[in-house]
Amino acid sequence: MDSGLVAALARAVPTGGLITAPEALRTYECDGLTGHRVVPSAVVLPESTDQVAACVSACHQARVPFVARGAGTGLSGGALPVADGVVICLTRMRAILDVDIQGQRVTVQPGVANLQVSDAVRANGHYYAPDPSSQSVCTIGGNVAENSGGAHCLKYGFTTTHVVGVTLVTPDGRVTTLGGAVADAPGYDLLGVVVGSEGTLGIVTEVILNIIPIPETVRTMLCGFASMSAAGLAVSAIIAEGITPAAIEMMDRLAIEAVEAAVHADYPRCQAVLLVELDGPRAECASTFARVEEICRQSEAQEIRVAADASQRAMMWRGRRAAFAAMGRISPDYYVQDGVIPRGRLAPVLDGIAALEQEYDLRVANVFHAGDGNLHPLVLYTGSHHGEGDRALELAGRILDLCLSEGGSITGEHGVGSDKACAMPKMFSEGALEVFTRVRAAFDPDGVCNPGKVLPTPRLCGEVPGPYRPHPLEIAGVATRM
Amino acid sequence: MSTATAIDVLPFAALVGEEHALAARADDTVQGVSPSLVVEPADEAEVSAVMREASRQRLTVVVRGGGTTLAWGTPPRRCELLLSTRRLDRLVEHQPGDLICVAGAGMTLAALQAHLGRAQGHRQRLMLDPPVPPEVATLGGIVATGCSGPLRTRYGTVRDLLIGVRFVLADGTVGHAGGKVVKNVAGYDIGKLLTGSLGTLAVITQVALRLHPAAPDSRVVLLDDSTPEALAARVQGLARLPVTPSCVDVIWPDRTCAVRVDSSAEGAERQVQIIAARVGGRILGEGEAAALNSSLAQRPWMGDGVVAGIAAPRSRLAELIRLAGRHADEVVVRGLIGVAEARLGADPAPITALRNGVEQLGGHLVLHRSPLPLRDLVWPAAAGAAVELMRSVKHALDPQGVLAPGRHLGGI
Ligand SMILES: Cc1cc2nc3c(=O)[nH]c(=O)nc-3n(C[C@H](O)[C@H](O)[C@H](O)COP(=O)(O)OP(=O)(O)OC[C@H]3O[C@@H](n4cnc5c(N)ncnc54)[C@H](O)[C@@H]3O)c2cc1C
């Protein structure tokens, strides 16, 4: 790397904030998509917006690409470094700058972990709604970039609903604010474009979040079904009735088996379970809950358990949250897919996935956000068996094709990143991709900000990615996937 | 007002049929700018061909849906061609089981709601009640202005309901973003970019929208109080209650706040009881509530005064009511979310005073409906890197400035 740039970066950040030693750089070689690895030339750890701007300016002047990084839990290779590029890691910017309970706003630096926001306002009866499973570690900056979701986003909306303003360092190093604490900022809604842009339009250095009151009451039930399609039909019936539960999560027999082996959550032994949670005013919740129970019964639920108290509820969620980490109990390796289908099409798509299992002679465990049609099929395989990893990857790709054939999406929350950039043409026309490219160029005409992500490039799409490996956080038991 | 560029009409007539390439009339004028030609493409492919031809001839184009909000924004610097989305009025699909629909941008809001109402066994609606006549206003126009009404308190704006969009750029490029599923993070959220873009970035041809079930019952409580402070205190008390109102509109100078709860009969009743018991107020009878409901979305749009859109911090509610009360004839504040609409006279002084006051509170003011002489007051001062970025985005999508140049913030 150009020594002038290294010197400029060193000046931009406090002592100890520049990493160039090869061993130390390896920490940053991948995110949660561990099959893709690239060692960057340098990593900087700025502590303020001005420092980020100085780092970005230096890179921009040298026309050296840079990649923003939060906690590195992303599952689509969004924070994958660019060879010969710089990683700008935001984890030292972890201050909560302002809490305004009456105005329902919290202003944070991007390195603040998702859960810290709720922790800061819980005593005042509020919380930050988006709850990715990685919430104890993943950063708000990463959430903004990925427009992250979580089990309770079904009712409350994804990150984009709750981010009202950001400070953005543009790819040429200027600092600007988009949106703000107050609604309806005049001009184009650039904030809406930046959220979910996967770090390709600039670096977010401050975020204003909307917080909401903790609901008066929460009710949770676990329903066992004789088949996945029966559970799928129950979900469709609940949604079609216009009920918006706080969460509807679904797991199949394989997933239940794995969970039981791992955490003994005492789930019903059946082909499928639904975890349904409702929250809100007591008056509303009680009648709707009864109605959901009735629908599940009509959909031939074999067993319905209602959580009698908070500890029983926690137990039900424990099973769900452990699902991904538990896969290790039943398979040495697995690949996580993330696709979306219309919610009325759950049953046929699940049948389609079952048919693919047969075709490929591989097992697929299903654990997913059923209420918004966000599937997370886990393709199980044994990496040491010759060719099985490739078959698993191919099967995972076929599942995306299935989602698309139903009018769905190639990603509901994990993002496109480097993982699915080459699949974008399956979902978007040439014209659409051209529009994305032009919007990106409006922010980053020189192509220095997280290049190679989101949009397909010939170079990228010639390469074949490596197989999935568990994220270190999963191995350590700190977080589970989704 | 503007010197019209000579138009070669024949290619347009060939593209859309002679009967849909019409000489413009007086009532096709857009904020004092008179187009020469009105073109009514039948589908997206025709929109694309028309835009390509317009770009080739270096014409400027204003998109018209129902024409109800053509006066929003500043006047376009030029406009030779008016592109009407009138014929893009098809319902593409309604999936009641998935609570989504897809429709042509030229479909009116009323037509959509009527279609949704016809689905057997479902009572679904698009939860938008913008201050425009629903029989005339089109979905594309509502998205392009981003306008909303009292329901915003519970369901958000079109920004929150739009899940997919198809559109055509100035050069004819057909694009799309999002899709028809409610959760989706693939690609940039161009739907949000187009929301409120006033037709300056692309011609919206089709929208996919999220629906909600219509509640079986609805009750209204009126909170009355004599001062802005007392009224604001009640609204803030309401915010802490375990209730989910669809609408919390402070109406001044009426010294009242209309709180509507849409729910099951039982749920609605319990919630209004909680509200009445905890923050006071009078629960309206059916007839009174119905009368109020039908007028709510129209206030303060009745008559043809200037209407300003205002946003201010939620916590400054009392000051906002007082300020608007001083300068405006009528104001409706969505009390829980810090946005308001105020009706004023055509005199610039109170408008400027109100804007300054709102800005001191940390908010901003945009004129939605205003007569031509007030054009310099439509937008707040625009400067800084954010506006530069907006210009770059406009330039990237419409480098020749074909689509309604000058209509948006900062002359974009
Ligand atoms: C065990 C596990 C469970 C998970 N569960 C869920 C889940 O339930 N729901 C869900 O949606 N996701 C989930 N994820 C994915 C991941 O946690 C989210 O995508 C998260 O938002 C990433 O945050 P991060 O701080 O780790 O970002 P990183 O992985 O560091 O970066 C993600 C992307 O954001 C960009 N970025 C980071 N910071 C900034 C910034 N300040 N400005 C601009 N761009 C920035 C990066 O360039 C990159 O493109 C899970 C991941 C794991 C490993």
Instruction: Give the distance (Å) from ligand 1 centre to CA of residue A124.
Output: 27
A196 lines ligand 1 (CB under 6 A): no
Q: Where are the domains of chain A?
A: 3-89, 96-213, 216-330, 331-417, 421-479
* Weakest-pLDDT range from A80-84, A145-149, B277-281, B299-303: B299-303
**CATH code, B154:** 3.30.465.10
Q: Are residues B289 and B344 in the same domain?
A: no
Q: Are residues B144 and B221 in the same domain?
A: no
Question: How many folded domains does chain B comprise?
Answer: 3
* Single residue among B295, B314, B332 that ends a domain in this structure: B295
Please judge whether A182 and B312 are an interchain contact, meaning their C-beta atoms are less than 8 angstroms apart. yes
pLDDT digits (tens, 9 = 90+) for B173-230: 999 999 999 999 999 999 999 999 999 999 999 999 999 999 999 999 999 999 999 9
Distance from CA of A440 to the nearest CA of B (A): 9
Interface test with A, best of B184, B238, B397 (most A CBs within 10 A): B184
Q: Are residues B165 and B51 in the same domain?
A: yes
Q: Which residues of A touch B387 (CB under 8 A)?
A: 187
Q: Are residues B69 and B105 in the same domain?
A: yes
Is residue A56 within 8 Å of A443, Cβ to Cβ? Answer: no
Q: Omega into B253 within 30° of 0, i.e. cis?
A: yes
Residue type, B304: D
For residue A182, give the nearest of B266, B313, B408 by CB distance.
Answer: B313
pLDDT digits (tens, 9 = 90+) for B372-391: 999 999 999 988 899 999 99
Identify any residues that bridge with A68 across adjacent strands, giving them in sequence order: A88
pLDDT digits (tens, 9 = 90+) for B326-360: 999 999 999 999 999 999 999 999 999 999 999 99
Identify any residues that bridge with B108 across adjacent strands, giving them in sequence order: B138
Whole-complex ipTM: 0.96
Q: Where are the beta strands (DSSP E) in A73-199?
A: 86-89, 96-100, 105-108, 126-127, 163-169, 175-179
Q: Are residues B195 and B253 in the same domain?
A: no
Taking the Cβ of residue B237 and every Cβ of chain A, the question of whether any pair is shorter than 8 Å is answered with no
* Single residue among B242, B267, B295 that ends a domain in this structure: B295
| Span B279-289, average pLDDT | 93
Residue type, B284: L
CA-based nearest residue in chain A for residue B185? A412
Rounded to whole angstroms, the Cα distance separating A96 from A81 reads 27
Query: pTM value?
Result: 0.95
Q: Are residues B208 and B271 in the same domain?
A: no
Quote the domain boundaries for residue B7: 1-214+381-412
The protein residue whose alpha carbon is closest to atom 23 in ligand 1 is A142
Domain assignment of residue B249, yes or no? yes
Task: Tell me phi and psi for residue A234, to 5 degrees.
Answer: -65, -45
Q: Give the pLDDT of residue A479.
A: 56
Q: Give the pLDDT of residue B297.
A: 76
Is residue B143's pLDDT more than 70?
A: yes
Please judge whether A242 and B185 are an interchain contact, meaning their C-beta atoms are less than 8 angstroms apart. no
* Fold equal for A3-89 and A96-213: no
Q: Which residues of A touch B383 (CB under 8 A)?
A: none
Domain assignment of residue B152, yes or no? yes
Instruction: Give the distance (Å) from ligand 1 centre to CA of residue B317.
Output: 36
Domain assignment of residue B300, yes or no? no
Domain assignment of residue B320, yes or no? yes
Q: Give the pLDDT of residue A475.
A: 57
Taking the Cβ of residue B188 and every Cβ of chain A, the question of whether any pair is shorter than 8 Å is answered with yes
Q: Give the pLDDT of residue A355.
A: 96
* Single residue among B295, B327, B343 that ends a domain in this structure: B295
Q: Are residues B86 and B148 in the same domain?
A: yes
Instruction: Give the distance (Å) from ligand 1 centre to CA of residue B85.
Output: 40
Interface test with A, best of B161, B183, B394, B412 (most A CBs within 10 A): B183
Q: Are residues B131 and B22 in the same domain?
A: yes
Please judge whether B190 and A439 are an interchain contact, meaning their C-beta atoms are less than 8 angstroms apart. yes
Q: Which two tokens stand for residue A374?
A: 């966000």
The class level of CATH for A331-417 reads: alpha beta
Give the number of A-B residue pairs with CB atoms closer than 8 Å: 262
Q: Are residues B55 and B197 in the same domain?
A: yes
Residues of chain A with pLDDT under 70: 462-482
The class level of CATH for A216-330 reads: alpha beta
Q: Give the pLDDT of residue A476.
A: 59
Q: Are residues B77 and B131 in the same domain?
A: yes
A194 lines ligand 1 (CB under 6 A): no
Q: Are residues B109 and B203 in the same domain?
A: yes
Please judge whether B393 and A442 are an interchain contact, meaning their C-beta atoms are less than 8 angstroms apart. yes
Q: Which two tokens stand for residue B219?
A: 């009750």
**CATH code, B245:** 3.30.70.920
Domain assignment of residue B103, yes or no? yes
Rounded to whole angstroms, the Cα distance separating A178 from B393 reads 14
Domain assignment of residue B301, yes or no? no
pLDDT tier for residue B302 given thresholds of 50, 70 and 90: confident
| Span B298-305, average pLDDT | 88
Please judge whether A102 and B175 are an interchain contact, meaning their C-beta atoms are less than 8 angstroms apart. no
A65 lines ligand 1 (CB under 6 A): no
Q: Give the pLDDT of residue B359.
A: 97
- CATH topology assigned to domain A3-89: 3.30.43
Q: Are residues B122 and B176 in the same domain?
A: yes
| Span B14-31, average pLDDT | 96
CA-based nearest residue in chain B for residue A157? B160
Q: A96-213 is classed in which CATH architecture?
A: 2-Layer Sandwich (3.30)
> From the alpha carbon of A75, which atom of ligand 1 is closest?
15
